[in-house]
Amino acid sequence: MVNTYKYQSSDNIIRLVQVTDPHLFQDEMSELLGINTQASFSQVLQEIQESTFDYDFVLATGDLVQDSSEEGYLRFCQGINKLQKKVFWIPGNHDFQPKMFEILNENQGNISPLKHLLLGDFWQVIMLDSQVFGVSYGELSQHQLDFLHSKLQAYPERYALIVLHHHIVLTNSAWLDQHNLRNIQEFKQIVTKFPNVKGILCGHIHQAVDSEWFGIKMMATPSTCIQFKADSNNFALDAVQPGWREIALYDNGFIETSVKRVQKAVFLPNMLSDGY
Ligand SMILES: [Fe+2]
């Protein structure tokens, strides 16, 4: 069985788009805290298609569906396939893995089940499953830690981008930080052994973060639906618009990235919502 996706490129720059946390429902009219998640997801996809960013791949980083529904996962597939790019994905805390794996693995167009990518001559991308079934916080199982370690060890000359749903850098929001990755120390022990790890990319926190963690670029990305207010100890929403992230991986290990937001529509959540 082939476990690694290999991409040969004459261009030394690998470009990716990340979409995260669409939280789709069985009913395409359903709202999450006042936002129709299907409509905002579709708008994000449309604006990605209209953008001039010439990317090669899409990374979908979890919480694809809110209510475990087959219809939600099918609509995710239909939507993301419109981009006509290879798509790689990981689960988030809200995903129902039996349904998710069944539907996304049934060869839905360009959607790949592979979690290890060798992109061009200089990069590898390692996609980890940090879900703990039934809870909001995350943890990397021994299997996931071993997978991470083995790929970093196998390709030490390549720069690495590690992708997982949960956040590892605290957001200064107590309600959200209790839902972080729990075994950060074990993750750190592996990652910091390999100087070519250049980036860590997550979803989950529904806000843009661009920071650094032990010399590694740390990125979190707005959801395609509701946004959580930054630096708020209690649950609060933000009226900033849904978005996505563009990433360019250079042949010298540099990561160029920017967060984009919906420009051609307005999605306003119910700002009085007091929980999620
Ligand atoms: Fe989410």
Q: What percent of the chain has a predicted confidence (pLDDT) above 70?
A: 99
Mean pLDDT of 10-20: 94
pLDDT, mean of residues 170-174? 93
Taking residue 12's Cβ as centre, other Cβ atoms within 10 Å add up to 13
| Nearest alpha-carbon partner for 83 in 28, 115, 44 | 44
Instruction: Write the pLDDT tens digit of every residue in 109-136.
Output: 899 999 999 999 999 999 999 999 999 9
Residues 152-161 pLDDT 10s: 999 999 999 9
129: left (phi over 0), alpha (psi -120 to 50) or beta: beta
CA–centroid distance, residue 244 to ligand 1 (Å): 13
Mean pLDDT, the chain, rounded, equals 96
Residue 205 alpha carbon to ligand 1 centre in Å: 7
Binding residues for AMP: 23, 63, 93-94, 206
What tokens does 128 get? 């980890």
Residue 274 has pLDDT above 90, yes or no: no
Q: Alpha helix (H) ranges present in 128-227? A: 142-154, 174-177, 184-191
pLDDT band at 140 (very low <50, low <70, confident <90, very high): very high
What residues have their beta carbon closer than 5 A to ion ligand 1? 21, 63
Q: 19 forms bridges with which residues in the sheet?
A: 60
Burial of 127 from C-beta contacts in 10 A (0-12 / 13-18 / 19+): buried
Q: How far is the CA of 249 from the centre of ligand 1 (A)?
A: 25
pLDDT given at position 2: 64
Confidence of residue 272 (pLDDT cuts 50, 70, 90): confident
66 CA from centroid of ligand 1 (Å): 8
Write the pLDDT tens digit of every residue in 39-69. 999 999 999 999 999 999 999 999 999 999 9
Q: What is the mean pLDDT of residues 252-266?
A: 98
In the DSSP assignment, the letter for residue 195 is T
- H or E segment at 35? strand 35-36
Work out the average pLDDT over 195-200: 98
Average pLDDT over residues 184-202: 98
- pLDDT-derived band at 150 (thresholds 50, 70, 90) equals very high
Cα angle 37, 43, 45 (rounded to 5 degrees) comes to: 105
CB proximity list for 202: less than 8 A, separation 6 or greater: 61, 163, 164, 165, 166, 167, 168, 219, 220, 221
Half-sphere exposure in the Cβ direction for 250 (13 Å, CA): 6
pLDDT band (50, 70, 90) for residue 1: low
pLDDT confidence tier of residue 108, bands split at 50, 70 and 90: confident
User: What is the whole-number distance in angstroms between the Cα of residue 265 and the centre of ligand 1?
Assistant: 21
How far apart, in whole angstroms, are the C-alpha atoms of residue 259 and residue 270?
Answer: 23
Question: Binding site residues, as ranges?
Answer: 21, 23, 63, 93-94, 165, 204, 206
Domains and CATH numbers, the chain: 4-261 (3.60.21.10)
Give me the residue label for tokens 């119910």: 270
Question: Measured in angstroms, how far is the CA atom of residue 95 from the centroid of ligand 1?
Answer: 9
Percent of the chain with pLDDT over 90: 94
Distance from the CA of 141 to the center of ligand 1, in angstroms?
A: 20
